[in-house]
Amino acid sequence: MKVRRLQSSAVAAFIGAAFVPIPAAYGQAEPLALKLAREINTAATPAQRAATTTPGAPGSPALTASPELRRAPQSPATSSERAGLEDPDRGAIFLRADRLEGTASIRLEASGNVELRTRRETILADSLSYDIVADEIWGRGEVVLRRGFDWITGPELKFNRDTETGFFASPRFYAGQTGARGDAREIRFLGPDKYEASDARYTTCVAPNNDWYLRSDEIEVDRLRKVGTARRATVYFLDVPIMYAPWLEFPLSNERKSGFLTPTAGSTQIRGLELATPYYFNLAPNYDATFTPRLMTKRGLQLGGQARYLFESAAGEVSGEVLPDDDVTDKTRWGFSWKHNQQVLPWLAGYVNYNRVSDAKYFADFADRIAITSQKTLPQEAGAVVNYGQWSVLT
């Protein structure tokens, strides 16, 4: 292992298996962390000291992974399982700060630009207490907890690394994998990859925009299942509440999952105010469906749907919408579309493109894109494609 040189402007300690420079080079200004390391190494046996001597510097003292740095085992039967800071799955702990004091085998107090790093997380704080026996961290001031691409920041963090329980006061959080972010009154860590946020706000909008967000009395996050569960939740769009649910589940990854999609809202002279709330059904990996109720103040309630499918030799989608009783025309208005492609043989393929609407003004009244609004004709066709060498014949 390489020798790590410590900057004179900060105090650093390696809790675990690591080497430190020769303390004599510091004279009377030897940092406390190096003094603790030298005292711990002095208590080791000659064999232990020889095994941890810095390469290239015979006799140089080193900070060993000595028994004093282990958390006290609850019983002899569990001592090997609770090896504490020597656990190979957890790795060593690195702690750096402007000021560091305490007993290396029991408790450390750090203040000023504190940085604590482990294999899983990094914690930054103005001040931090680390109970080595209980493996518990208490950070105060401007605290930041980083795990992978995720981070949480707030004024106070208390976290037990052994049980992965604790709390974060008044946190703001960001999930790097999905871009989700939010804030809460408190986050409670409930165990490995599981925590709960109270009085929380959650959104996937890119900062600083909050076009839509979810407010909930309680949001529970389960990273093993990759789902979040909100209780007594309200969905807001442009700061206007549009939906309430006593229980709501949403995905924490980009994988498909059944549930509500982002609602859309707008206003036109023909339809008035309108709101569409699509619901997505993840039926199978190769087919799905979406149901979309659309409320228009001048027209009424329109019901729409879309189904998509993909098989080894075929793919397509079916979509349709119906307005049972148009408030303007007093007629039922509807539209239908079916697009299908089929590979019959290696040299033969077929297709269907069938579209139909209830009347000639349907697109002008209900389409939300100019290209569709101005459409004059609807394709209704089916055909086959024959491939022969470099030639293709469309029928």
User: Can you tell me the mean pLDDT for 212-225?
Assistant: 92
Please state whether beta strands 181-183 and 300-310 pair in parallel, antiparallel, or not at all (unpaired).
unpaired
As a whole number, mean pLDDT of residues 170-190 equals 92
| Predicted confidence (pLDDT) at residue 290 exceeds the cutoff of 60 | yes
Q: Report CA-CA distances (Å) from 7 to 13, 113, 165.
A: 12, 14, 34
The pLDDT score that the predictor gives to residue 91 is 67
Please say if the pLDDT value at position 176 is more than 60: yes
Those residues whose C-beta lies under 8 Å from the C-beta of residue 86, and which sit 6 or more positions away, are 16, 17, 65, 69, 70
What are 117-159's pLDDT values in tens digits? 998 899 999 999 999 999 999 999 999 999 988 999 999 999 9
Exposure of 64 by Cβ count < 10 A (0-12 exposed, 13-18 middle, 19+ buried)? buried
Dihedrals phi, psi of 335, to nearest 5 degrees: -145, 150
Comparing CA positions, the residue from 236, 215, 208, 223 lying closest to residue 177 is: 223
The predicted-structure confidence for 9-65, as pLDDT tens digits, reads as follows 344 444 433 323 323 333 444 444 434 344 434 444 333 433 333 333 333 333 333
Number of C-alpha atoms within 13 angstroms, CB side, residue 5? 4
Highest mean pLDDT among 99-108, 216-225, 262-271, 295-304: 295-304
Better pLDDT: 337 or 11: 337
In angstroms, the CA 123 to CA 114 distance is 8
The answer, yes or no, to whether residue 244 has pLDDT greater than 60, is yes
Q: Does 370 score more than 60 pLDDT? A: no
Q: Could you tell me the pLDDT band of residue 90, with boundaries at 50, 70 and 90?
A: low
Q: What is the pLDDT of residue 392?
A: 80
304-320 average pLDDT score: 96
Question: pTM of the prediction?
Answer: 0.55
Residue 2 has pLDDT above 80, yes or no: no
Instruction: Answer yes or no: is pLDDT of 344 > 80.
Output: yes
